[in-house]
Amino acid sequence: MPLSHDLPVILSGWPHYSQNLARLTAMSAAARPDLTIVDIGANIGDTAVLMRGAATVPILCVEGDEFFLDFLHRNVGQLRDVEIEEAYVATADDADRAHTVVRQAGTAALVPPTSGLKPARPFRSLPAILGSHARFSSPGLVKIDTDGADPRIIVANRELLARARPVVFFEFAPLWAARTGDENPYRAITALAEAGYQGALVYANTGELLLVTRITEPHVWKDLGRYTLAHGNGYYYDIAAFHADDADLFEQAGAAERNFFDGVAAAPA
Protein backbone atom coordinates (compact mmCIF):
# COMPACT_ATOMS: atom_id res chain seq x y z
CA MET A 1 0.00 0.00 0.00
CA PRO A 2 1.14 3.58 -0.41
CA LEU A 3 2.80 5.15 2.62
CA SER A 4 -0.01 7.72 2.71
CA HIS A 5 -2.63 5.02 3.36
CA ASP A 6 -4.21 5.20 6.84
CA LEU A 7 -5.16 1.52 7.12
CA PRO A 8 -2.31 0.50 9.48
CA VAL A 9 -3.04 3.46 11.75
CA ILE A 10 -6.78 2.69 11.77
CA LEU A 11 -6.26 -0.98 12.59
CA SER A 12 -3.83 -0.18 15.40
CA GLY A 13 -6.42 2.05 17.08
CA TRP A 14 -9.65 0.26 16.15
CA PRO A 15 -9.11 -3.52 15.82
CA HIS A 16 -12.75 -4.18 14.85
CA TYR A 17 -12.47 -2.02 11.73
CA SER A 18 -13.80 -3.98 8.67
CA GLN A 19 -13.85 -7.25 10.60
CA ASN A 20 -17.66 -7.12 10.52
CA LEU A 21 -17.48 -7.51 6.75
CA ALA A 22 -15.39 -10.67 7.14
CA ARG A 23 -17.91 -12.19 9.54
CA LEU A 24 -20.85 -11.25 7.29
CA THR A 25 -19.03 -12.78 4.32
CA ALA A 26 -18.62 -16.07 6.17
CA MET A 27 -22.29 -16.11 7.20
CA SER A 28 -23.45 -15.22 3.68
CA ALA A 29 -21.29 -17.96 2.17
CA ALA A 30 -22.75 -20.52 4.58
CA ALA A 31 -26.28 -19.44 3.64
CA ARG A 32 -25.58 -19.24 -0.10
CA PRO A 33 -23.30 -21.97 -1.47
CA ASP A 34 -23.21 -20.17 -4.84
CA LEU A 35 -22.22 -16.82 -3.30
CA THR A 36 -20.43 -14.26 -5.46
CA ILE A 37 -19.34 -10.83 -4.24
CA VAL A 38 -19.12 -7.44 -5.95
CA ASP A 39 -16.73 -5.01 -4.25
CA ILE A 40 -17.51 -1.46 -5.46
CA GLY A 41 -14.73 0.92 -4.49
CA ALA A 42 -12.21 -1.87 -4.05
CA ASN A 43 -9.36 0.58 -3.37
CA ILE A 44 -6.08 -1.33 -2.88
CA GLY A 45 -7.83 -4.70 -2.47
CA ASP A 46 -7.65 -4.90 1.32
CA THR A 47 -11.35 -5.71 1.73
CA ALA A 48 -11.22 -8.27 -1.08
CA VAL A 49 -8.34 -10.03 0.68
CA LEU A 50 -10.25 -9.81 3.96
CA MET A 51 -13.39 -11.33 2.45
CA ARG A 52 -11.43 -14.10 0.74
CA GLY A 53 -9.91 -14.94 4.09
CA ALA A 54 -13.43 -15.51 5.40
CA ALA A 55 -14.77 -17.53 2.44
CA THR A 56 -13.27 -18.84 -0.80
CA VAL A 57 -15.81 -17.29 -3.16
CA PRO A 58 -15.51 -15.34 -6.44
CA ILE A 59 -15.09 -11.57 -6.05
CA LEU A 60 -15.41 -8.81 -8.64
CA CYS A 61 -13.38 -5.74 -7.64
CA VAL A 62 -14.63 -2.50 -9.18
CA GLU A 63 -12.25 0.46 -8.95
CA GLY A 64 -11.82 3.52 -11.16
CA ASP A 65 -8.96 5.38 -9.50
CA GLU A 66 -5.78 4.82 -11.49
CA PHE A 67 -3.54 5.40 -8.47
CA PHE A 68 -5.17 2.65 -6.39
CA LEU A 69 -5.60 0.29 -9.35
CA ASP A 70 -1.88 -0.48 -9.43
CA PHE A 71 -1.97 -1.64 -5.81
CA LEU A 72 -5.24 -3.50 -6.38
CA HIS A 73 -3.73 -5.56 -9.20
CA ARG A 74 -0.69 -6.42 -7.10
CA ASN A 75 -2.72 -7.38 -4.02
CA VAL A 76 -5.36 -9.58 -5.65
CA GLY A 77 -3.60 -10.62 -8.85
CA GLN A 78 -2.54 -13.99 -7.41
CA LEU A 79 -5.98 -14.86 -6.01
CA ARG A 80 -8.09 -17.32 -7.99
CA ASP A 81 -11.60 -16.29 -8.98
CA VAL A 82 -10.98 -12.59 -8.37
CA GLU A 83 -11.70 -10.27 -11.30
CA ILE A 84 -11.10 -6.54 -11.71
CA GLU A 85 -13.23 -3.95 -13.53
CA GLU A 86 -11.34 -0.69 -14.11
CA ALA A 87 -14.23 1.76 -13.97
CA TYR A 88 -16.31 4.00 -11.77
CA VAL A 89 -19.92 2.92 -11.28
CA ALA A 90 -22.16 5.34 -13.16
CA THR A 91 -25.36 6.76 -11.70
CA ALA A 92 -28.19 8.65 -13.36
CA ASP A 93 -26.56 12.08 -13.08
CA ASP A 94 -22.95 11.18 -13.87
CA ALA A 95 -23.23 11.49 -17.65
CA ASP A 96 -23.84 15.22 -17.43
CA ARG A 97 -21.46 16.00 -14.60
CA ALA A 98 -17.75 16.66 -14.52
CA HIS A 99 -15.75 15.25 -11.64
CA THR A 100 -12.47 15.73 -9.84
CA VAL A 101 -10.81 12.93 -7.89
CA VAL A 102 -9.89 13.92 -4.34
CA ARG A 103 -7.52 11.54 -2.55
CA GLN A 104 -6.80 11.68 1.16
CA ALA A 105 -5.31 9.20 3.64
CA GLY A 106 -5.86 6.18 1.41
CA THR A 107 -9.33 6.95 0.10
CA ALA A 108 -10.68 8.71 -2.96
CA ALA A 109 -13.91 10.54 -3.70
CA LEU A 110 -15.42 12.00 -6.86
CA VAL A 111 -16.51 15.57 -6.18
CA PRO A 112 -17.81 18.45 -8.34
CA PRO A 113 -14.72 20.06 -9.87
CA THR A 114 -13.23 23.48 -9.49
CA SER A 115 -11.18 22.96 -12.64
CA GLY A 116 -13.61 21.05 -14.86
CA LEU A 117 -11.36 17.99 -14.95
CA LYS A 118 -12.78 14.51 -15.37
CA PRO A 119 -11.23 11.27 -14.10
CA ALA A 120 -9.29 9.25 -16.63
CA ARG A 121 -11.21 6.04 -16.04
CA PRO A 122 -14.65 5.56 -17.61
CA PHE A 123 -18.02 5.44 -15.95
CA ARG A 124 -20.03 2.27 -16.55
CA SER A 125 -23.43 1.32 -15.23
CA LEU A 126 -23.45 -1.57 -12.78
CA PRO A 127 -25.61 -3.74 -15.09
CA ALA A 128 -23.07 -3.14 -17.89
CA ILE A 129 -20.19 -4.07 -15.58
CA LEU A 130 -21.91 -7.27 -14.46
CA GLY A 131 -22.71 -8.04 -18.08
CA SER A 132 -18.96 -8.10 -18.74
CA HIS A 133 -18.42 -10.51 -15.83
CA ALA A 134 -21.18 -13.05 -16.33
CA ARG A 135 -20.76 -15.11 -13.16
CA PHE A 136 -21.46 -11.99 -11.09
CA SER A 137 -24.84 -11.28 -12.71
CA SER A 138 -26.68 -12.12 -9.46
CA PRO A 139 -24.26 -11.37 -6.61
CA GLY A 140 -25.10 -12.49 -3.11
CA LEU A 141 -23.11 -9.72 -1.41
CA VAL A 142 -22.46 -6.20 -2.68
CA LYS A 143 -20.03 -4.00 -0.79
CA ILE A 144 -20.05 -0.27 -1.62
CA ASP A 145 -17.37 2.11 -0.34
CA THR A 146 -17.10 5.26 -2.44
CA ASP A 147 -16.80 8.07 0.12
CA GLY A 148 -20.12 9.67 -0.74
CA ALA A 149 -21.56 8.09 -3.90
CA ASP A 150 -23.06 5.07 -2.11
CA PRO A 151 -26.63 6.48 -2.01
CA ARG A 152 -26.61 7.36 -5.72
CA ILE A 153 -25.35 3.88 -6.62
CA ILE A 154 -28.07 2.21 -4.55
CA VAL A 155 -30.82 4.40 -6.05
CA ALA A 156 -29.58 3.83 -9.60
CA ASN A 157 -29.55 0.05 -9.10
CA ARG A 158 -32.80 -0.42 -7.19
CA GLU A 159 -34.16 -2.84 -9.83
CA LEU A 160 -30.97 -4.92 -9.88
CA LEU A 161 -31.03 -5.17 -6.08
CA ALA A 162 -34.70 -6.16 -6.12
CA ARG A 163 -33.88 -8.95 -8.58
CA ALA A 164 -30.63 -10.31 -7.14
CA ARG A 165 -31.45 -9.56 -3.46
CA PRO A 166 -27.83 -9.45 -2.24
CA VAL A 167 -26.78 -8.41 1.22
CA VAL A 168 -25.75 -4.76 0.70
CA PHE A 169 -22.91 -3.44 2.86
CA PHE A 170 -22.49 0.30 2.39
CA GLU A 171 -21.48 3.56 4.01
CA PHE A 172 -24.13 5.91 5.38
CA ALA A 173 -22.31 9.25 5.46
CA PRO A 174 -24.54 12.30 4.91
CA LEU A 175 -21.64 14.77 5.03
CA TRP A 176 -19.63 12.83 2.47
CA ALA A 177 -22.66 12.54 0.21
CA ALA A 178 -23.15 16.31 0.39
CA ARG A 179 -19.51 16.81 -0.61
CA THR A 180 -20.18 14.85 -3.81
CA GLY A 181 -23.25 16.98 -4.57
CA ASP A 182 -25.88 14.66 -3.08
CA GLU A 183 -28.07 16.49 -0.57
CA ASN A 184 -30.43 13.58 0.09
CA PRO A 185 -28.55 10.41 1.12
CA TYR A 186 -31.72 9.16 2.84
CA ARG A 187 -33.12 8.22 -0.55
CA ALA A 188 -30.84 5.16 -0.42
CA ILE A 189 -32.89 3.87 2.51
CA THR A 190 -36.12 4.53 0.62
CA ALA A 191 -34.75 2.75 -2.47
CA LEU A 192 -33.76 -0.29 -0.42
CA ALA A 193 -37.22 -0.46 1.15
CA GLU A 194 -38.82 -0.25 -2.31
CA ALA A 195 -36.50 -3.08 -3.47
CA GLY A 196 -37.81 -5.33 -0.70
CA TYR A 197 -35.14 -4.84 1.98
CA GLN A 198 -36.27 -5.05 5.59
CA GLY A 199 -33.48 -5.71 8.08
CA ALA A 200 -30.34 -3.72 8.82
CA LEU A 201 -27.29 -3.97 11.04
CA VAL A 202 -25.80 -0.58 11.86
CA TYR A 203 -22.12 -0.28 12.78
CA ALA A 204 -19.93 2.59 13.86
CA ASN A 205 -17.31 3.43 11.26
CA THR A 206 -14.78 1.72 13.54
CA GLY A 207 -16.61 -1.61 13.20
CA GLU A 208 -18.58 -1.94 16.44
CA LEU A 209 -22.24 -2.94 16.27
CA LEU A 210 -24.57 -0.08 17.23
CA LEU A 211 -28.02 -1.52 16.65
CA VAL A 212 -30.14 -4.05 14.81
CA THR A 213 -33.10 -2.33 13.17
CA ARG A 214 -35.50 -2.23 10.24
CA ILE A 215 -35.01 -0.41 6.96
CA THR A 216 -38.58 0.87 7.27
CA GLU A 217 -37.91 2.83 10.50
CA PRO A 218 -37.44 6.36 9.09
CA HIS A 219 -36.77 8.01 12.44
CA VAL A 220 -33.79 5.75 13.03
CA TRP A 221 -32.04 7.00 9.89
CA LYS A 222 -32.82 10.65 10.57
CA ASP A 223 -31.49 10.28 14.12
CA LEU A 224 -28.32 8.59 12.86
CA GLY A 225 -27.84 11.26 10.21
CA ARG A 226 -28.29 14.02 12.78
CA TYR A 227 -25.56 12.49 14.92
CA THR A 228 -23.06 12.41 12.05
CA LEU A 229 -23.80 16.04 11.20
CA ALA A 230 -23.11 16.99 14.80
CA HIS A 231 -19.81 15.12 14.99
CA GLY A 232 -18.14 16.21 11.79
CA ASN A 233 -16.75 14.80 8.58
CA GLY A 234 -14.86 11.87 10.11
CA TYR A 235 -17.92 10.06 11.42
CA TYR A 236 -20.15 7.72 9.43
CA TYR A 237 -21.87 4.35 9.69
CA ASP A 238 -21.51 1.03 7.91
CA ILE A 239 -24.88 -0.55 7.12
CA ALA A 240 -25.56 -4.18 6.26
CA ALA A 241 -29.01 -4.36 4.62
CA PHE A 242 -30.90 -7.64 4.18
CA HIS A 243 -33.72 -8.40 1.75
CA ALA A 244 -36.99 -9.80 3.10
CA ASP A 245 -36.11 -13.12 1.46
CA ASP A 246 -33.03 -13.24 3.70
CA ALA A 247 -35.01 -12.86 6.93
CA ASP A 248 -33.38 -15.98 8.40
CA LEU A 249 -29.89 -14.73 7.54
CA PHE A 250 -30.73 -11.33 9.05
CA GLU A 251 -31.87 -12.91 12.30
CA GLN A 252 -28.80 -15.15 12.38
CA ALA A 253 -26.42 -12.28 11.64
CA GLY A 254 -28.03 -10.00 14.20
CA ALA A 255 -27.83 -12.64 16.92
CA ALA A 256 -24.25 -13.60 16.03
CA GLU A 257 -23.05 -10.00 16.01
CA ARG A 258 -24.72 -9.25 19.33
CA ASN A 259 -23.12 -12.37 20.84
CA PHE A 260 -19.73 -11.41 19.41
CA PHE A 261 -19.75 -7.93 20.91
CA ASP A 262 -21.23 -9.19 24.19
CA GLY A 263 -18.12 -11.34 24.38
CA VAL A 264 -15.89 -8.39 23.58
CA ALA A 265 -17.54 -6.32 26.31
CA ALA A 266 -17.18 -9.14 28.86
CA ALA A 267 -13.51 -9.84 28.06
CA PRO A 268 -10.99 -8.62 30.67
CA ALA A 269 -9.19 -5.42 29.76
Per-residue pLDDT reduced to its tens digit, 62-117: 999 888 899 999 999 889 999 999 999 988 655 445 455 555 544 555 545 554 55
What one-letter code names the amino acid at 60? L
DSSP letter at 210 equals: E
The predicted pLDDT at position 15 comes to: 74
In a domain, 134, yes or no: yes
In a domain, 102, yes or no: yes
Identify the helix (H) or strand (E) that includes residue 199.
Answer: strand 197-204
- Cβ atoms < 10 Å from Cβ of 264: 12
In a domain, 2, yes or no: no
In a domain, 1, yes or no: no
In the predicted structure, residue 260 carries a pLDDT above the cut 80: yes
Compute the Cα dihedral for 141, 260, 212, 144 and give only its sign: negative
Per-residue pLDDT reduced to its tens digit, 114-144: 545 555 457 899 999 999 999 999 999 999 9
**CB 201, CB 249: distance < 8 Å:** no
Domain range for 245 is 7-266
Mean pLDDT across 241-259: 97
User: pLDDT-based confidence at 58, cuts 50/70/90?
Assistant: very high
Q: What interhelical angle do 19-31 and 46-54 show, nearest 10?
A: 40
In a domain, 245, yes or no: yes
Count structural domains, the chain. Answer: 1
Per-residue pLDDT reduced to its tens digit, 15-24: 777 899 999 9
Residues 154, 163: Cα–Cα separation, whole Å: 13
In a domain, 174, yes or no: yes
User: pLDDT-based confidence at 176, cuts 50/70/90?
Assistant: low
Model confidence, pTM = 0.85
Tell me the CATH number at 91.
Answer: 3.40.50.150
Buried b (16+ CB within 10 A) or exposed e, 154-168: bbbbbebbeebbbbb
